[in-house]
């Protein structure tokens, strides 16, 4: 179990993490979702006692991180950034971590076996590929057989096989009753991995909900219609009192639950339909909408230039 209470991190004026309060429970995979720069990595570093919170606290199984005796046996973490010396072998990297927490040497061989690095255990880690590096990080996280596991963007940049492997691993760890907390900026990745969701944007908590609830609440259903007689159909729908959303491609969208009625209306007025299909908006889209207001670096929309002009006019 991980408990955050009012966790805050400020860098000068900038607030990276803003009064986060939530609990990560054992037995399920909890997804930690947010756009890039939302404060996920900072939050995770504070969970591990690497960064000092400006305010608030984190408790791992009821204790602050630096009060844990042999912390690797309570919590293991895969950080996004590389955390090993490239000139050291995988074996020695894991061995020095194991020794610091009184973990027997045999366990090093075990985890190397588990992640499939036993054959390259004596090689310098700088020769490792991205996927192998990720496996080494996971080996380090598993080393102390901890009850709590953190994974920061574990599938980023991996090939499909690696992604599948990590996904299966996280689910099996949760099934063993462990607390699994995994961050990502990809909603679709979370949708297939996580049972519970915590969404943050600009350091603030936006949602703390089960995945099923998130999908039910956010996955907008609609009916998509394609027709060569677009104007006539729009008139008919308008008369019938059906609210219509027109899309960029010229297709017509109507809120859910009306597919039959639209089919009947079209038949009555002898309008040809090329498509009439009930659909679900993607979770990625729902996530984007949820975080839209809080995203820090917008790509191009909302250029502030006209605003400056307005301000200047006001000033004059």
Residues that bind another protein (CB under 8 A): 45, 48-52, 65-66, 68, 71-72, 77, 79, 81-89, 92-93, 95-97, 99-102, 140
> Which residues in 215-235 are b (16+ Cβ under 10 Å) and which e?
eeebeeebbebbbeeeeebbe
Distance between CA atoms of 50 and 44, rounded to whole angstroms?
A: 9
Closer CB to another protein, residue 42 or residue 218? 42
Closer CB to another protein, residue 54 or residue 114? 54
Q: What are phi and psi of 187, to 5 degrees?
A: -65, -40
Closer CB to another protein, residue 48 or residue 242? 48
7, two tokens: 């966790």
**Closest distance of CB 281 from another protein, Å:** 38
How many C-alpha atoms does 200 have within 13 Å on its Cβ side? 26
**Closest distance of CB 96 from another protein, Å:** 4
Closer CB to another protein, residue 64 or residue 228? 64
**DSSP percent split of the chain into helix, strand, coil, nearest 5:** 40, 25, 35
**Closest distance of CB 138 from another protein, Å:** 13
**Closest distance of CB 201 from another protein, Å:** 22
Closer CB to another protein, residue 87 or residue 241? 87
**Closest distance of CB 238 from another protein, Å:** 59
Would you say the C-alpha torsion 115, 118, 120, 125 has a positive or negative sign?
positive
Across-strand partners of 275?
226
Closer CB to another protein, residue 86 or residue 116? 86
Q: How far apart are the first and last CA of the chain?
A: 57
Provide Rg for the chain, Cα atoms. 25
**Closest distance of CB 85 from another protein, Å:** 4
């Amino acid at each position: 179990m991980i408990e955050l209470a009012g966790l805050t991190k400020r860098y000068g004026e900038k607030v990276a993490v803003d009064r986060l309060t939530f609990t990560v429970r054992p037995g399920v995979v909890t997804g930690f979702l947010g756009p890039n720069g939302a404060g996920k990595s900072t939050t995770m570093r504070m969970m591990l006692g690497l960064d000092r919170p400006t305010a608030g606290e984190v408790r791992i199984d009821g204790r602050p991180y630096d009060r844990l005796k042999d912390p690797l046996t309570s919590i293991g973490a895969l950080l996004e950034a590389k955390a090993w010396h490239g000139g050291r072998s995988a074996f020695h990297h894991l061995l020095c971590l194991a020794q610091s927490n009184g973990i027997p040497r045999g366990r090093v061989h075990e985890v190397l076996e588990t992640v499939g690095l036993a054959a390259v255990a004596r090689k310098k880690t700088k020769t490792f590929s991205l996927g192998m590096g990720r496996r080494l990080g996971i080996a380090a996280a598993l080393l102390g057989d901890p009850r709590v596991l953190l994974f920061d963007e574990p599938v980023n940049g991996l090939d499909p096989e690696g992604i599948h492997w990590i996904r299966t691993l996280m689910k099996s760890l949760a099934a063993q009753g462990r607390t699994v907390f995994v961050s990502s900026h990809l909603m679709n990745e979370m949708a297939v991995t996580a049972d519970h969701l915590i969404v943050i944007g600009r350091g603030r908590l936006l949602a703390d909900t089960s995945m099923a609830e998130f999908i039910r609440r956010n996955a907008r259903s609609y009916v998509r219609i394609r027709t060569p007689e677009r104007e006539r159909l729009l008139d008919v729908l308008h008369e019938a009192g059906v609210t219509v959303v027109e899309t960029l491609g010229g297709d017509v969208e109507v809120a859910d639950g009306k597919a039959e009625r639209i089919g009947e209306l079209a038949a009555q007025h002898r309008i040809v339909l090329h498509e009439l299909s009930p659909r679900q908006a993607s979770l990625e889209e729902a996530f984007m909408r949820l975080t839209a207001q809080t995203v820090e670096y917008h790509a191009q929309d909302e250029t502030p230039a006209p605003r400056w002009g307005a301000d200047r006019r006001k000033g004059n």
